[in-house]
Amino acid sequence: MTSEEALERAAQEGIHTLRLPTPFMVGRVNCYLIEGELVTLIDTGPNSGKALDDLQHQLAERGHSIEDLELVILTHQHIDHIGLAEIIAARSGADVAAIDVAVNFLENFGEDAERDDHFAVELMLSHGISEEVVTALQSVSRSFRAWGSSPKVTRPLHDGEILSLGDRNLEVQYRPGHSPSDTLLWDADRRILFAADHLLAHISSNALITRPLDGSGSRTQALVTYLESLRKTRELPAEIVLPGHGEPISDHVALIDERFAHSRRRAETIYELIAERPRTGHELAQELWGDVAVTQAFLTLSEVIGHVDLLINEGRAREVRENGVIKFEAVA
């Protein structure tokens, strides 16, 4: 099935893709308008005038306005997916739904984003990134916060529950990894999966190292968690996967297998590097991506740490700390 055929079939089922601009390299975000007994929007785009204008225009093309929306579902906590939620809820009176573990974060977005920044700063410094780079990245992160919002979640969702939209049932599937709050929505009757950023056709979904939503402070193994989530998604008999960016996916099994193989290759490349000599996470990132490891330091560090976690769990690598900085070394 081609992308055009997938979009056409989704439209026949009352699902329409709204592509809204974001400030990020990934480009436009896919939001989904579901027509039916309950007019629903999955994700909102970032909090910007351009995104709001585009949303209003694309809704109008479908004969709707923001005021028609009755339910907004947020798939995860990232700002390109939640930014307009407050404005939409205020104008329409729509309920806002999100997975239960994300409710506190969403409703206290500014405070929790600051906590996330402190967590990221400590992580980057402990893995060999310079204070100058860390300070610059922290400044950039703070500047992006205005693109987010703090919506009141009126419908907390729970893993495994069936969300009824009147004439349509969506199963809520909690699949953390890309973020701690990733939520999929599975329309079993139509075999359509709303996957957000859990699975993207054109790029690998980043398993970002993130402060746990329970506030425990200790980092989770984001990539390990993400791969476990992908294994569950692989078992779904989906015919169309609607992602948070890019084009629809019609063979998710093959794509997930490709992601597994890519992750295995990257882990082996990192093992070869640390078998030569112990290296910090940032040094490994520079070996793999060069200057990108500076401009995208937290993203590339997350990639490295995630793959070293795989090696550590296999007993092939370990962490050693020297003067407050963590290095990874191979275990024979």
Q: What share of the chain has pLDDT > 70, as a percent?
A: 99
pLDDT tens for residues 71-95? Answer: 999 999 999 999 999 999 999 999 9
Joined together, the tokens standing for residue 181 give 């709050």
C-alpha to C-alpha distance for 215 and 36, rounded to whole angstroms? 38
Domain of residue 173, CATH code = 3.60.15.10
Q: Coil, strand, or helix at residue 145?
A: helix
Work out how many domains the chain is built from and give that number.
Answer: 2
pLDDT tens for residues 236-268? Answer: 999 999 999 999 999 999 999 999 999 999 999
Question: ∠ CA(36), CA(106), CA(141), 5° rounding?
Answer: 120
Which one of 258, 285, 302 terminates a domain? 258
Concatenating the DSSP letter of every residue in 194-243 gives: EEETTS-SSSPPP------TT---SPP-HHHHHHHHHHHHHTS--SEEEE
Maximal C-alpha separation, the chain: 64
Any idea what DSSP says for residue 325?
A: E
Pairing of strands 240-243, 279-280: unpaired
Q: Give domain status of residue 41, yes or no.
A: yes
Q: Give domain status of residue 94, yes or no.
A: yes
Residues 9 and 102 reside in one and the same domain: yes
Please check the confidence at residue 215 and state whether its pLDDT lies above 80.
no
Q: What range does the domain containing 67 cover?
A: 3-110+143-258
Residues 10 and 49 reside in one and the same domain: yes
pLDDT tens for residues 274-316? Answer: 999 999 999 999 999 998 878 888 999 999 999 999 999 999 9
Residues 279 and 253 reside in one and the same domain: no
Crossing angle, helix 297-313 and helix 252-276, to 10 degrees? Answer: 80
Joined together, the tokens standing for residue 220 give 């989770």
Q: Give domain status of residue 124, yes or no.
A: no
Q: Give domain status of residue 228, yes or no.
A: yes
Q: Give domain status of residue 135, yes or no.
A: no
Residue 74's nearest CA partner among 13, 167, 163 is 163
Which one of 258, 284, 299 terminates a domain? 258
Please check the confidence at residue 48 and state whether its pLDDT lies above 90.
yes
Domain of residue 283, CATH code = 1.10.10.10
Burial of 74 (0-12, 13-18, 19+ CB in 10 A): buried
What residues does 320 pair with on adjacent strands?
327
Q: Give domain status of residue 127, yes or no.
A: no
Residues 170 and 218 reside in one and the same domain: yes
